[in-house]
A and B are shown apart, each in its own frame.
Chain A
Amino acid sequence: MSTTTPPITPPSSPHSPSSSGGGGGEVNYINATKGIKSWMFTVDHKRIGLMYMVGVMSAYGLGGLFAILLRSELWNPEPSFIGGAEAGTTEAMNNAWDFYNQAFTLHGAVMVFLFIIPAIPAILGNMVLPIMLGAKDVAFPRLNLLSFYFWVLGGLFFVWVLSKGIINSFYPGMIEIWGPGGLETGWTFYTPYSTTTQNSAVVAATFGAFILGFSSILTGLNFIATVHMLRPKGMGWFQLPLFLWALYATAIIQILATPVLAITLLLLIAEKTLGVGIFNPALGGDAVLYQHFFWFYSHPAVYIMILPALGIISEVVSVHSRKSIFGYKFIAISSLAIAFLGFLVWGHHMFTSGQSALTNAVFSLITFFVAVPSAIKTFNWIATMYKGDIRITTPFIYILFTIGLFTIGGLTGLFLGCLSTDIHFHDTYFVVAHFHYVMMGSTLFAFLAGVYHWFPKMFGKMYNVFWSNLGGIIAFIGFQLAFFIQFIAGSQGMPRRYASYPEHFEFYHQVSTVGAYTMGAGMIIVLLTWIVALRTGKKAPANPWGGNTLEWHTTSPPPTANFHAEPTAEEPYDYSGWKYVSPEEGWVQRTPEEREAARQQLGTGH
């Protein structure tokens, strides 16, 4: 393993990938082999990434559908989805509550476990991590495939829970046969409710989450080994692209936090099936222990969701501003700092669970510390854009949205990290809005930015810029409509997780619901642009943005072994080596002489 950092100089004989790109009949990872088996048993990290993409986006569609249903239920103050019952009766209320509880649980669980956590690492990380390292594959390709199938298996458990609930609602007689379906514990599976409810779906869903944890662990393990062992000579730790720093920090959280979730869920299953009672005060256990265990995983998990997104921001901001990233080391180290601090703040989820005042104060203080590395990143992105040669491309627009959402989400986090205000905001829509801004808004838009950034590389096709931008703008407006007003509703005292509410909250909820529909429409446009681009998109050049990380040094899409010739490790954010030719050719490499001249002129480089 080389950690030396020899001076970076331009290659003596620049290889020009775009010239070897070209012809339509070229062999790449997508068309190298054919047939369903060549995909199902592939160990190619890029194909595995694509399979994840199909699966994870389906999960996103499912989670989104529940979101739409939830917001529809909340259009009126009265319970809306009351099954066959007569309005106003107790039965109607019960039906509505049952439905609502199941819908928000499955929305949360599917979005968290099946979409946000795997979205960026498993799709984009799998796709570009080895290429950015100039490697042929991840360190353990077969493990990578195994992790995908774990994801599928875990997902099937959720689908099972879900379909049971749906079938039960159509054929109530089935309840006698296989018990109630759906899942109404909330994605956190808090005890004692989750262990005392008669609903057998808890075990299935928990076991599903357990398996998904394995998938997450294996991906993280693979990324750590790959980053450690497969860096090319000349790429020291501080020549790593920042996206890889982010994935590396994420992987550390994945391997250190997820096992604790695994044992927590095993204990929960033991609790439910055997009645061991470790979390049950009636049996001598400790109910708050479950919350400690759960948040020991799930707070770091929030950083599993957001850190890769922050990595994408660093890449996209630099490439599309055509300016070397400002404060490289600060951004790199701040990823690790967030990962580290992430392990010390879980108690801020339990300020009202009866922790001691001292514990609360300590957790609150450390929570505030998280703001420091987050702010370092944000300032560095803005400093990178400052005086940059900014191109308002689709990825850049999405990244601007991301930074905006992340800032709002981060700043409102301070209100929740602060003890006195948290007592007030606890379990209100303020919390809902906060974590949707951070987890959903930031991560989703960064994920979309990443897809648009690497779409040409992944598929060798360009997308329609107008519709892609429009989809993003509509989704962004929808998001703000849906969630910003929830801060206000929450601060007015609207509690979360209720199917009905006092009438004076109706306006807030209706705005929110309109926002959700708008966002849904935006997301459908985004998805359509992808599908249209795949079918009819123009051929993408090898380097459409002029990026200098190694994935832009190979063809679009890359061959199965990623590179036609061994790539040269370079300073990832030095753009002096590329010149723009045309939309078809994209950016091509300069000769060393041209490059030197460009450097002198631009004063970039180090």
Chain B
Amino acid sequence: MTQVTDSHTDDHTGHAGHDDHEHHGPPHLAHHFETPEQQLSSAKLGMWVFLATEILMFGGLFCAYSVWRGNHPEVFAYAHTALNKDFGFINTIFLITSSFTMAWAVRTAQLGRTKATFILMGLTLLGGCGFLVVKTFEYKAKWDHHLFVGDLNEHHPDYVAPAEAAHGEADGDHGAVDEHATIEQTAADHGAADHGTSDASVEVAGETTGETAGEIVGGAERTSIALAPDGPAGVVADWMVAPVIAGETADAGHADDHAADGTDEHGAHGEAAADAGHADAHGGGHGDGHSVSKEIVPLKDRQKIHQFFQIYFLMTGLHTFHVLVGMGVIAWLMFCKVPKGIFGPGYYTPIDLVGLYWHLVDLIWIFLFPLLYLIH
């Protein structure tokens, strides 16, 4: 006998059925489910399936990343140092913490502790905000240094340099150098200092001592790519410029050595003095001896540097979009649903689902961070 006995009949007929459950189900039970457990399991299954589609969608980008990286390992090794590991690390902390508060919020929702749920979701939201703020600084720095997406990236063949830079000599032409010196600016509170930094570097570049600039910047800089300005002819010279990338632990004290390094190593390319000035000003030394120069990129591949940034922006951009969506849903639940006190042991599905989604967003970042920022 396989008769289904535990169910309600439909609402549209007068047929006698198993009436005992009809219209007496829990308030959030949809008509086509028989028990709240079945409804919750269905919702969760649906969410997991949706998360699978999300993973596959990002999978496409990870695939593009792998293919490109496999094809051009040197370009990657060079370009990825432009990313700021500290920013990435802070963001990782933000997301992991918010994932924790989110998981906790699911538990308190399950227990019906409305106030705790509200606070924990608020903290989750704050974590998301923190992530976005840091990301904004990072994107802003890329924008300022012409390492943005598409032909706004100075390594892109279609990149059009701002007017003054096109025929500017490094020495003495303040604006030109400022525009052209590509420096990956870093520390969180130095968004504003950035310009000052570049300016300073230009000023000292004309002289020959990097000391001043080094002091100005001090430990603020972490990683930097310093490019000398175009040579007068400005043809391939653009790709011949000598970048110097400083390591993690910047130290103003090393500024002098570094300036000297720059001069020695790259004196052949373009304006040695300016070069050295930049390297100094922004590199702040080789604290950990980790230095990557553009030299490691084969000449024929230098035009591909911009591709790293395309992939970086596509991956982090799509991820950031997901963070935004998650924050929107969390905010909506937190302000419109949670205060009503509707969540408890019998019904906490929305909180549970947004929690799953938030963990996935976190998880994707956990992969993005090492792949883009750390490994080389």
Contact = CB atoms under 8 A, between A and B. Distances in A.
A63 interface: no
Given A258-B53, A286-B67, A263 B41 contact: no
Contacts of B318: 266
Interface in B58-94: 58-61, 63-64, 67-68, 71-72, 75
Interface in A1-27: 1, 6, 8-9, 11-12, 27
The A interface, classified by DSSP as helix, strand, loop or mixed, is loop
A263 B12 contact: no
Contacts of A228: 42, 45
Nearest to A258: B53
A565 B9 contact: yes
Interface stretch (B109-117, B149-157, B236-244, B359-367): B149-157
B61 A11 contact: no
A561 to B, nearest CB: 3
B60 A141 contact: no
Range for the number of chain A residues in contact with chain B = 35 or more
Contacts of A136: 10, 31-32
Contact of A276 (B4, B53, B149): B149
A544 to B, nearest CB: 22
Interface string B27-67: 00011110000100110011001101111111111011001
A229 interface: yes
A407 B154 CA distance: 56
A1 B34 CA distance: 12
Interface string A135-176: 111111101000000000000000000000000000000000
Given A256-B56, A276-B310, A224 B67 contact: no
Contact of A27 (B4, B12, B301, B310): B12
B11 interface: yes
Given A139-B46, A289-B64, A565-B17, A259 B10 contact: no
A26 B37 CA distance: 34
B150 A276 contact: yes
Contacts, number: 179
A278 B10 contact: no
A564 B60 contact: no
A9 B9 contact: no
A566 interface: yes
Nearest to A222: B46
Contact of B2 (A225, A229, A256, A570): A570
B314 interface: yes
Contacts of B307: 276-278, 283-285
A230 B2 contact: no
22 contacts: A6-B2, A9-B1, A135-B32, A136-B32, A137-B32, A225-B49, A229-B38, A229-B42, A230-B38, A232-B4, A233-B2, A234-B3, A255-B49, A262-B60, A267-B314, A276-B314, A283-B307, A286-B68, A559-B12, A559-B13, A560-B12, A564-B15
Given A229-B38, A286-B68, 10 more contacts: A138-B32, A221-B49, A225-B42, A225-B46, A260-B57, A276-B149, A277-B307, A278-B68, A286-B71, A293-B63
